[in-house]
Chains A and B, each alone.
Chain A
Amino acid sequence: MKALCWYGTHDVRVEKVPDPKILNPRDAVIKITSTAICGSDLHLYDGYIPTMQKGDILGHENMGEVVEVGKEVKNLRPGDRVVVPFTIACGHCFFCQRNESSLCDNSNPNAWMAEKLYGFSPAGLFGYSHMLGGYAGGQAEYLRVPFADVGPIKIPNGISDEKVLFLSDIFPTGYMAADQCGITEGDTVAVWGCGPVGLFAMKSAYLLGAGRVIAIDRFPERLQMAREHTGAQTINYEEEDLADALMEMTGGRGPDACIDAVGMEAHTTGVINAYDRAKQAMMLQTDRPQALREAILHCRKGGTVSVPGVYGGFADKLPLGALMNKALTIKTGQTFMKKYMQPLLERIQKNEIDPSFVITHRIRLEDAPHGYDIFKNKRDDCIKVVLKP
C-alpha cells in the first residue's frame, strides 16, 4: 500500500509499504476513506518531537471501512464504517474506567520511554513517535487499529466523510478544551489560535453557553473563518495590543476562561521571540510557551486556563506568580476521546454543527508532502488539509 512516511525535518514522502495485518486478537484493519493532517503533525514535520525514526508512518485523524477483525472483536464486522480516535485505549484499566482514555495504562508498548520523561506513560497514539507507542498512522491506504472493540465508533450511512472525519481528533479536542473551562451562562472565553482546534473550541464554547468568544491570531484568513463560522470576535495581535484589546472587550475584568490552542511552537514578536528561539537552539528548552504565558497573564482572577495545545518537554519563564496569586485553574491533557465521540456525533446528526467548515484543501494521498508544506507555511490560505487515498 502507499503511505506517508517521515524521514526527518521537512522531509515526508509517500512510499510503497507492506499492508498492515492483524497482530493481536483485539485488532481490526480498516481501509482508509479519508484522513487529515493535524496541527500537531507539524511538530513532527518540524522535527521537535523526539524518538521519531526514518520510515515512521504518520496520521492520527482517520476513518474508513472495516476489512478484517481479530477474533476478540465482536462489535465490528467487515463493511462497517468507522471513525478511529487518535488515542489508543484498552477500555479496562483504572483510567479507561474513569473515561480518561488518553491516560490508558496499557496501550503504550514503549511505556518505559515515556516514564523516563513524564514519570508515567500516557496512552499510545497513532503515528506520533516511539515514545508514545510507535504505532503506524493512517495517512495511508489501510490502518491496523489496536483495541478495536473499544476505540472506533460506527457511522451510519447517509452522512458524508467530511462531516464526521474530525470526530477522530480535532472536534472532541476543541470541545474538551471548552468543556474544561467550566463555562457558566454568559461567560467570556478567549481562544489563542484560530487553527482548526481553536475554531472547534470557539464553536463548542458557544454550544456550552458562552456569551462571548474572543479569537486571537495573526493570519487574516483564519481570523476571517473564526468570525464567519463561529461568531467569535477577533483580535489580530500583530495589528493591535493584545492586553489593551482584551481589557476593553471585558470591561477591565479579563476573560473568564482562556484556551491555549497553540501549543509548543508559538509565534510571537520581539524580544520574547528571540529569547525562546535562542533557548531552543541551545537545547535549554524544548517548547515555546508564549501562548500559555499570555493566557495565564490575561485570565481573570479565579478563572480557568484550558490547554489543548500540544507540549512535549520543558519550558521556561512561566508566570507561576500570576498563576498562584490569581488562584487560576489549569486544565489540560490529550483528549478523553471515549467520553466525547458519541455525544458529538449526535450533535452533528442533529445539525447543531457541521465540522467540515474548516476544510480548505482536499488532495490525494500522493500529494500529501505538498499538503504538509502549504499547511506549515500557511500558504494558499490553507487551514485544514484532508487526504483521500
Chain B
Amino acid sequence: MAIEQMNKSAESKRNPRAPGDMRPRRSSMPDSQESERTQAQRPMRTSDNPLARGLGWFSIGLGLIEVLAPRGLARTIGLHDHHALIRVFGLREIASGIGILSQPRPVGWMWGRLGGDAMDMAVLALALTSTRSQRGKVAVAMAAVAGAAVLDGLCGRQLSEQTGMIDETGAVLVHKCMTIARSPEELYRLWRDFDNLPRWMSHLESVRVTGENRSHWVVKAPAGTTVEWDAEITEDRPTECIAWRSVGSRDVDHSGSVRFVRAPANRGAEIHVELAYRPLGGMVGAAVAKLFGRAPDQQIQEDLRRFKRMMEAGEAPTTQGQPSGTAAHTPR
C-alpha cells in the first residue's frame, strides 16, 4: 500500500527521516544535532543540476530567437502571424532563463516554465484550427513543446525533491513551528486530548477516539464536502511528542508529528508540526491549492497562530461583525 511505500522510502539513503523520527531537522538549540546534517542532506543548488542549467540556457536562447527573429521563427513552426505575441513570449522565456540560472534553488521558476509551455501549447492549438497555418509544421512544434514540458516537469520534480519540499515518493513535506509562552508539558496535555484540536484547527470538523491508539478524523473540504480517515498513533512520548499516520484510506495518505521543545531563556515552548502528505491532484494540485490559500502548510501556520493566541491572550483577535461603510457607493 502507498503508506508502507511512503514509510519505507522515507527511510532511504537521501533522507533517513521516517515519520516518527523525532530528531529535530533544525533546532534553535545550539547543540551537536546540527552537525548530524551531512553533505548529502543539504539542499542542492542549480549548479549541481545539469538539467536545470540546460533548461535555463535553453530558455534564454529560445527567448532571444523569439524576440529578435519572430517572423523567421513563425515561418519555421508554421504560424501565419502572431509576431508580437512571439516577441512577448520571448521576453517571458528570457525572464524564466535568468530566474533559473540566477537563483540557487529555482523551484518556482522551473514550474513557471511548465506554465509557459501551457501558454505555447494553447497558441499552437489555436493555430491548428486556422486555415492560414501550415498544420504539419504546427504539429511538429507542438510535439517539441510537449517534449520540453516533460523535461520541465521532470526537472521541477527533481528540484522540489532536492530542496526538501517533497520526498522520493512525491509526498509533500511541511514543517511549521511557533513559540508559545506555556510549558511543553501544558501544550502536550492539550494536544494529546484530541477533542481539543477542532478548537484551533479550523478545517477540522471532529476527531473521535476509537481505540487505544486509534482515532477517526473528519476534515472540511472545499465545496461543503468532508474527507474522513482513521489514524493511529505511532509514537507518544509525554511532554515531548506525538506522531501518527493515516491508515486504510487511499484518498488520504499522510503521516505527521507534533513536537514540544522547551524554548530558551524562559520563553515557554516551541511547538513543531511536521507533515508528510500526498495531495489529491499531485504536485500540480498542491501548487494550485497554495495559490488559493488552502494548502496544508498555510493552514497549519494559521492553526498554530490561533493556538498561540488562545493560549496567551485567551481569545483569537477578530474583526468579523464590526461596522464599516457600505462599499456600494457611486464614485464622486
Seen from chain A, the residues whose Cβ lies within 8 Å of a Cβ on chain B are 1, 3, 5-8, 11, 13, 15, 17-21, 23-26, 53-57, 72, 88, 90-94, 97, 105-109, 111-112, 124, 133-136, 140, 144, 146-147
Residues of A within 8 A of B181 (CB): 92-94, 97
Whether the pair B318, A24 counts as a contact (CB closer than 8 A) is yes
Whether the pair B313, A56 counts as a contact (CB closer than 8 A) is no
The answer, among B312, B314, B318, B325, for a CB contact under 8 Å with A5, is B325
State whether A136 and B267 are in contact (beta carbons under 8 Å apart), knowing that A25-B315, A108-B317, A124-B317 are contacts in the complex. no
Q: Which residue of A lies closest to B324 (CB)?
A: A55
Q: Does B302 contact A (CB under 8 A)?
A: yes
Q: Does B234 contact A (CB under 8 A)?
A: no
CB distance from A144 to the nearest CB of B (A): 6
Whether the pair B319, A136 counts as a contact (CB closer than 8 A) is yes
Residues of B within 8 A of A140 (CB): 323
Once bound together, how far apart are the Cα atoms of A54 and B313, in whole Å? 30
Whether the pair B314, A17 counts as a contact (CB closer than 8 A) is no
Whether the pair A111, B313 counts as a contact (CB closer than 8 A) is no
Residues of A within 8 A of B322 (CB): 20, 23, 135-136, 144
Per the 8 Å Cβ criterion, residues 276-332 of B in contact with A are 298, 301-302, 305, 308-309, 312-327, 329, 331-332
A-B contacts counted at CB < 8 A amount to: 106
Residues of A within 8 A of B309 (CB): 90, 105-106
CB distance from A176 to the nearest CB of B (A): 24
Q: Which residue of B lies closest to A11 (CB)?
A: B332
Q: Which residue of A lies closest to B301 (CB)?
A: A112
The answer, among B313, B320, B326, for a CB contact under 8 Å with A147, is B313
CB distance from B5 to the nearest CB of A (A): 34
Whether the pair B317, A107 counts as a contact (CB closer than 8 A) is yes
Interface centre among B298, B308, B322 (most CB of A within 10 A): B322
Whether the pair B312, A55 counts as a contact (CB closer than 8 A) is no
CB distance from B126 to the nearest CB of A (A): 34
Whether the pair B332, A5 counts as a contact (CB closer than 8 A) is no
Residues of A within 8 A of B305 (CB): 111-112
Residues of A within 8 A of B332 (CB): 11
Q: Which residue of B lies closest to A90 (CB)?
A: B313
- Of the A-B pairs whose beta carbons lie under 8 Å apart in the complex, a sample of 17, sorted by A's number, is A3-B325, A11-B331, A17-B323, A17-B325, A24-B316, A26-B315, A54-B325, A55-B326, A56-B325, A57-B324, A72-B314, A94-B179, A106-B309, A107-B313, A135-B319, A135-B322, A147-B313
The answer, among B179, B316, B317, B325, for a CB contact under 8 Å with A13, is B325
Given contact pairs A20-B322, A92-B312, A105-B308, enumerate 10 new A-B contacts (beta carbons under 8 Å): A5-B324, A6-B325, A21-B321, A56-B324, A93-B312, A94-B181, A94-B267, A112-B298, A112-B301, A140-B323
Residues of B within 8 A of A105 (CB): 308-309, 312
Residues of A within 8 A of B324 (CB): 5, 17, 53, 55-57, 136
Residues of B within 8 A of A109 (CB): 316-319
Once bound together, how far apart are the Cα atoms of A135 and B301, in whole Å? 22
State whether A93 and B313 are in contact (beta carbons under 8 Å apart), knowing that A23-B321, A24-B318, A134-B319 are contacts in the complex. yes
Residues of A within 8 A of B308 (CB): 105-106
Once bound together, how far apart are the Cα atoms of A144 and B267, in whole Å? 31
Q: Which residue of B lies closest to A14 (CB)?
A: B325
Once bound together, how far apart are the Cα atoms of A111 and B305, in whole Å? 9
Q: Which residue of A lies closest to B315 (CB)?
A: A24
Once bound together, how far apart are the Cα atoms of A5 and B267, in whole Å? 41
Residues of A within 8 A of B312 (CB): 90, 92-93, 105-106
Once bound together, how far apart are the Cα atoms of A344 and B309, in whole Å? 30
Residues of B within 8 A of A91 (CB): 313
Whether the pair B327, A23 counts as a contact (CB closer than 8 A) is no
CB distance from A45 to the nearest CB of B (A): 14
Once bound together, how far apart are the Cα atoms of A134 and B315, in whole Å? 17
Whether the pair B302, A112 counts as a contact (CB closer than 8 A) is yes
Whether the pair A26, B314 counts as a contact (CB closer than 8 A) is yes
Residues of B within 8 A of A19 (CB): 323
CB distance from A370 to the nearest CB of B (A): 15
Once bound together, how far apart are the Cα atoms of A153 and B298, in whole Å? 37
Whether the pair A23, B323 counts as a contact (CB closer than 8 A) is no
Per the 8 Å Cβ criterion, residues 171-206 of B in contact with A are 179, 181
Whether the pair A20, B323 counts as a contact (CB closer than 8 A) is yes
Once bound together, how far apart are the Cα atoms of A337 and B320, in whole Å? 25
Whether the pair B327, A133 counts as a contact (CB closer than 8 A) is no
Once bound together, how far apart are the Cα atoms of A272 and B319, in whole Å? 41
Once bound together, how far apart are the Cα atoms of A105 and B267, in whole Å? 13
Once bound together, how far apart are the Cα atoms of A94 and B308, in whole Å? 12
CB distance from A217 to the nearest CB of B (A): 32
CB distance from B251 to the nearest CB of A (A): 28
Residues of A within 8 A of B301 (CB): 112
Residues of A within 8 A of B302 (CB): 112
Q: Which residue of B lies closest to A13 (CB)?
A: B325
Q: Which residue of B lies closest to A135 (CB)?
A: B319
Once bound together, how far apart are the Cα atoms of A72 and B322, in whole Å? 19
Q: Which residue of B lies closest to A27 (CB)?
A: B315
CB distance from A365 to the nearest CB of B (A): 14
Once bound together, how far apart are the Cα atoms of A124 and B319, in whole Å? 11
State whether A55 and B327 are in contact (beta carbons under 8 Å apart), knowing that A23-B321, A112-B301 are contacts in the complex. yes
Residues of A within 8 A of B321 (CB): 21, 23
Once bound together, how far apart are the Cα atoms of A105 and B317, in whole Å? 11
Residues of A within 8 A of B298 (CB): 112
Interface centre among A5, A13, A91, A106 (most CB of B within 10 A): A106
Once bound together, how far apart are the Cα atoms of A91 and B315, in whole Å? 12
CB distance from B310 to the nearest CB of A (A): 9
Once bound together, how far apart are the Cα atoms of A1 and B315, in whole Å? 27
Q: Which residue of A lies closest to B316 (CB)?
A: A109
State whether A15 and B316 are in contact (beta carbons under 8 Å apart), knowing that A92-B181, A94-B267 are contacts in the complex. no
Residues of B within 8 A of A7 (CB): 325, 329, 331
Q: Which residue of B lies closest to A24 (CB)?
A: B315
Once bound together, how far apart are the Cα atoms of A18 and B322, in whole Å? 8
Once bound together, how far apart are the Cα atoms of A93 and B327, in whole Å? 36
CB distance from B48 to the nearest CB of A (A): 29
Whether the pair A106, B323 counts as a contact (CB closer than 8 A) is no
Q: Which residue of A lies closest to B302 (CB)?
A: A112
Once bound together, how far apart are the Cα atoms of A219 and B318, in whole Å? 42
Q: Which residue of B lies closest to A97 (CB)?
A: B181
Q: Which residue of B lies closest to A5 (CB)?
A: B325
Residues of B within 8 A of A6 (CB): 325
